[in-house]
Amino acid sequence: ETGVTQSPTHLIKTRGQQVTLRCSSQSGHNTVSWYQQALGQGPQFIFQYYREEENGRGNFPPRFSGLQFPNYSSELNVNALELDDSALYLCASSLDRGNTEAFFGQGTRLTVV
């Protein structure tokens, strides 16, 4: 186990709805990164949070947003869900912004119908 926990494990939403995914980082880690893993693909970087601030973003639209809390846990919010948002969403925590060693959670499987 990595000490990174994500909830929920599975989720089904309807197109147009909004969703919030949660991640509890490993103890002592102040950096959380989120990745989207579509079926048959490798994980793609969405954004990173460091000490409650967004600290870098991949090629994802603004309807993907996040938060990081004082205890370094994090949320990923997706508005106006589209069918293509169906994927495994992975959270990774690390000791530093450089992400020299990232520990991944088991992911949340989101299905948009």
What are the residues binding another protein (CB under 8 A)?
2, 4, 33, 35, 40-45, 48, 50, 55-56, 58, 90, 92, 97-102, 104-107
C-beta atoms surrounding 32 within 10 Å: 30
- Smallest separation (angstroms) from another protein to the CB of 109: 11
**Gap between the Cα atoms of 31 and 38, Å rounded:** 23
For another protein, the closer CB: 82 or 101? 101
Peptide bond into 8 cis (omega under 30): yes
For another protein, the closer CB: 16 or 61? 61
- Smallest separation (angstroms) from another protein to the CB of 98: 4
- Smallest separation (angstroms) from another protein to the CB of 17: 27
User: DSSP for 34-74?
Assistant: EEEE-TTS--EEEEEEETTEEEEE-S--TTEEEEE-TTS-E
